[in-house]
């Protein structure tokens, strides 16, 4: 059985936690990454807004991914988070969370990224900055 090219996801899931939470990579290029999450009841806290850990996980992933691109959609360098600062700004009005990360500096091993989470109405929900360490420096 062959798959139709138009139904094949361009980005593969990178790890089990991504599958557990349910977010997906939608854009990935040098210095930039974007992830999306359709909100469900499993993402909510007692106040019926997304748990802060959901925002944090999306931001950690997007900011980290912004510094690991190797030139292909599903090929990337490995990195770990050294520091992540998150500021929560608003509760979502929409039904989807969108996290964007951009590499803003660094060197061959350590890099810095910034980004935000917004909902599908464009409301900015959280902002973050982070420091990451590449585990393999090959390009």
Q: What is the pLDDT of residue 9?
A: 52
- CATH topology for 5-134 is Thiol Ester Dehydrase; Chain A (3.10.129)
* Cβ-contact 33, 65 below 8 angstroms: yes
**How is the chain split into domains, by residue range?**
5-134
Q: What is the pLDDT of residue 22?
A: 86
Contacting residues for 57 by C-beta, under 8 A, at least 6 apart: 17, 21, 23
Summarised one tens digit per residue, pLDDT across range 12-52 is: 666 677 788 889 999 999 999 999 999 999 999 999 999 99
Q: What is the pLDDT of residue 8?
A: 41
**pTM for the predicted model, two decimal places:** 0.86
Tokens 């998150």, residue located: 86
Summarised one tens digit per residue, pLDDT across range 45-60 is: 999 999 999 999 999 9
């Amino acid at each position: 059985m062959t798959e139709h090219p138009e139904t094949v996801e361009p980005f593969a899931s990178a790890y089990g936690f991504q599958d557990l939470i349910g977010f997906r990579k939608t854009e990935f290029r040098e210095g930039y990454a974007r992830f999306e999450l359709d909100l469900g009841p499993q993402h909510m806290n007692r106040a019926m807004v997304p748990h802060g850990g959901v925002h944090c996980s999306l931001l950690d992933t997007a900011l980290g991914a912004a510094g690991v691109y190797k030139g292909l959609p599903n090929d990337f360098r490995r990195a770990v988070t050294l520091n992540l600062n998150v500021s929560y700004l608003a509760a979502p009005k929409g039904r989807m969370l969108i996290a964007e990360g951009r590499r803003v500096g660094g060197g061959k091993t350590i890099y810095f990224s910034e980004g935000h989470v917004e909902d599908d109405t464009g409301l900015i929900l959280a902002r973050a900055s982070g420091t990451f360490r590449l585990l393999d420096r090959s390009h």
